[in-house]
Amino acid sequence: MSNNNPLLQDFNTAPFSKIKTEYFKPAIEKAVEIARQQISEITNSSEKPTFANTIEELEFSGAKLDRVTSIFFNLNSAETNDAIQKLAQEISPLLSDFRNDIILDEQLFGKVKAVYDQRKSLDLNVEQQTLLDKKYKMFARNGANLPEEKKQQLREIDKKLSKLSLNFGENVLAETNRFELHIINEKDLDGLPKGVRSAAKQLAKSKNKEGWIFNLHYPSYLPFMKYAKNRDLRKKMALAFGAKGFHNDELDNQENVLQIAKLRHEKANLLGYSTFAEFILEERMAETPQKVEDFLQELLEKAKPAAEKEFEELENYAKELDQIDRLEKWDAAFYSEKLRKKLFDLDDEQLKPYFELENVINGVFAVSEKLYGLNFEEVFDIDKYHQEVKTYRVKDEYGKELAVFYADFFPREGKRGGAWMTSYKPQQKRNGREERPHISIVCNFTKPTDEEPSLLTFTEVTTLFHEFGHALHGMLANSTYPSLSGANVYWDFVELPSQVLENWCYEKEALELFARHYETNAIIPQEYIRKIKESATFHEGMATLRQLSFGMLDMSWHGIDPSNVTNVKAHEDQAFEPTKLYPDVQENCMSTSFSHIFQGGYAAGYYSYKWAEVLDADTFEFFKENGIFDRETADKFRNSILSRGGTEHPLKLYKEFRGKEPQPEALLRRAGLIEKK
């Protein structure tokens, strides 16, 4: 098998068309074997441990395994099926065992520690110092100093956690896929724009059904909630969306949530930390749970009065317009959109014709060219995992190839919801040779229909810019070591490159590069640009409160001892109490589908979005002072932040770029929560 298995042969871009699902497990088993051999060469070496023969060798070991597993787990997110999901359940414990075998290897740790103990006398550059510190902590923070019995406990916990996390994600995807709102009566479509109706009709047609079908994927769900006049149907959709993993059936996630939270806490205790948040935050800019709590509390105090005022205005508007008794969660998007249209004479349907997906892609490329001199060429000779995926070669202004870029834009049954950036190959330098990265962004945007191309809402436009900001962090990486390259940075720093790029979506200079009517090619009217900017802070208080509520829910699971929590819903309600505006919906529970913290990497880290907003608002103020396309400022951001990855502490990198520490006032000014300068 190994001779014919394309995953075990040398390849540059991933050979998707040659890969069969059954190739993955033997490839991963073989890659683990190769990695074990590389590790044993380090541990069995009779040479005195040095930075080169221990730390660097450890860093570059397991490269084949990393590549094969990145392909596998990326497919499990973007193009999964029952066979891949079943395989993930078999592969995850195997990888967990292998990781623990390395981390709990006393002989290997002894060699790493020997180098670490003489670090002050070694002539290491900054990146080498960071790598040494990171490798030592990889062992010390993950049980290398534990007695054998506790090491075994840790192994069992990690194995269980990897399986529970997979179960959680599979249940959320299955729940998302199994609900359909099938409409036969055209009157039930009242309020829905033509494009939304067309997409729903096409979905029904693809399932050999009459009428229109709406589901819980964002391009279907969000416009329905925003425009459908039928309040009962909005309620039905909202209840289905909010009850994912909360039906007391085979797809229920309540036990998974409780088990994950408790096992994480148990792991933290084993490692000498009082909570999982304390363990995680030691390696974050925020440093401690108390700092996160204080940060969230400070923003809550600033945002809550504005949010309560906005909510009262919205509720009064809804009562006045439709005589409803009280504003419910399924009314939020509907009446917000109506009020926004009334106040600013602007809605998504007016804007969408100016945001054809192809134009927006070209727009984000044009912005990147003006800022960083990048060129993107779509190519058709790179293998891909689905026909909808687009592939590009990325070059700098001198023609040097910087990256391969994959873009996957539309929802499918095998793709999880949301949007994310990932990598198929890391950037690194070794033996005088540099490997450039292969970066991918995956989104779930409105599909083209028979009647019109893919037209994005303004929110989808900002999402594309957001994920592309992450992609730039990967593409412009210029590190020696793969684990410090690109987006491998502290978790509360990783959102800075993505969130800062969203700012260009609100600027006239940038919008005029790509916002053109898909039929007439007319540039977006100046009046619309003015309204986009004016409406940018609309309901910002409520939006801030919503984000804070997610951060507080995350900390409520990971900043305490959850051993006594038995009721997921009751625990969640308590966590949401300080940020509550809408009446509670008993049938709904967010934790059971909160993939960011129970499946993704955001456990004890959801606050990072708001933390990074402070950084991005402060960063963009600097750009605006010098001009949003000022090349000198862009070069500074590229050289201090984007290209440096995790090679130094992020606060040091940020101060190098900005000349000072980030100030939260910039965010509060942008959000309209304090007066502008």
Q: Span 209-216, mean pLDDT?
A: 97
Report the residue count for the chain: 677
pLDDT in tens, 595-605: 999 998 899 99
Give me the phi and psi of 651, to 5 degrees please: -65, -35
pTM of the full predicted structure? 0.90
- Paired tokens of 257: 């949530």
Q: In angstroms, rounded to a whole number, what is the distance separating the alpha carbons of residues 677 and 600?
A: 38
Using the structure block, give the residue that is written with the tokens 């990971």: 558
2, pLDDT greater than 70: no
Hey, is 215 helix, strand or coil?
coil
Locate the domains of the chain by residue range: 6-145, 179-242
Reading the block at residue 512, the tokens are 């005029």
Compute the average pLDDT of residues 502-520.
97
User: How far is it, in rounded angstroms, from Cα 77 to Cα 416?
Assistant: 6
What average pLDDT does this structure show over 148-173?
95
Q: Per the residue annotation, which of 59, 266, 349, 467 is the catalytic one?
A: 467
Residue 463 has what pLDDT? 97
pLDDT at 673 over 90: no
What pLDDT sits at residue 365?
A: 98
Q: What are phi and psi of 586, to 5 degrees?
A: -60, -30
Q: Exposed, middle or buried by CB within 10 Å (0-12, 13-18, 19+), for 517?
A: middle
| Closest by CA position to 501, among listed 535, 536, 543, 467 | 467
Residue 661 has, within 13 A of its CA and on its CB side, a CA count of 5
Mean pLDDT on 452-466:
96
Question: Would residue 56 show up in a list of annotated catalytic residues for this protein?
Answer: no
CA distance 91 to 113: 30
Q: Which of 591, 608, 649, 549 is nearest to 277 (CA)?
A: 608
Of 224 and 601, more confident: 224
The per-residue pLDDT for range 252-280, each reduced to its tens digit, is: 999 999 999 999 999 999 999 999 999 99
Architecture of domain 6-145 in this structure: Up-down Bundle (1.20)
* Token pair 């590229």: residue: 638
Using CA atoms, how far apart are residues 473 and 498, in angstroms rounded to an integer?
A: 8
Predicted confidence (pLDDT) at residue 334 exceeds the cutoff of 70: yes
Query: Is pLDDT at 677 greater than 70 in this prediction?
Result: no
